[in-house]
Amino acid sequence: MKAAMRAKDSARLGAIRLLQAALKQREVDERIELAEADVLAIIDKMIKQRRDSIVQFEAAGRQELADIEKFEISVLQTYMPQQFSAEEIEAAIMQALAASGAAGPQDMGRVMALLKPQLAGRADIGKVSGLVKARLSK
């Protein structure tokens, strides 16, 4: 935040302030001290909100607003852990399938329950869910 202030980077500063406000709001609302997993969940939620906004803005022909949202996503992603590669995600899925003994699509909930804590913040859970569903449908 200080670096953005010194560089007079108002766009980056605004995105950082939005993140800090969201974190503080959660702490105040729930009267808790946020753990790292909570912080990652909030950042992930903010990124998802911005992706939804980008789709809406582009559909409405408001590219300048979509560009602002894309910049905010790039700032927020700097605070997320390194994303898993496709191979690492595939290996985690195979391990979860073996550990849960999943046989078909009805076992998807058990597999996802194993994967969510492992991949939280490091992979798009929606895409992982699609990969698991494809694996279980075979």
Give residue limits of the domains in the chain.
2-77, 86-137
Predicted local distance difference test score (pLDDT) of residue 36: 85
Supply the pTM of this predicted model.
0.74
State whether the Cα torsion 115-119-125-129 is positive or negative: negative
Assigned superfamily of 2-77: Uncharacterised protein YqeY/AIM41, N-terminal domain (1.10.1510.10)
Q: Would you say residue 138 has pLDDT above 80?
A: no
CATH ID of 86-137, from 2.30.42.10, 1.10.10.10, 1.10.10.410, 3.40.50.150: 1.10.10.410
The whole-chain average pLDDT of the chain stands at 91
In this structure, what token pair is assigned to residue 120? 């939280």
Tell me what pLDDT residue 105 has: 86
**How many residues are present in the chain?**
138
Residue 76: CB atoms within 10 A of its CB come to 20
pLDDT (tens digit per residue) in 57-77: 999 999 999 999 999 999 999
72, 50 in Cβ contact below 8 A? yes
Half-sphere CA count of 99, side-chain side, radius 13 A: 12
- Alpha helix stretches (DSSP H) within the chain: 2-6, 10-30, 36-59, 63-77, 86-100, 108-119, 125-137
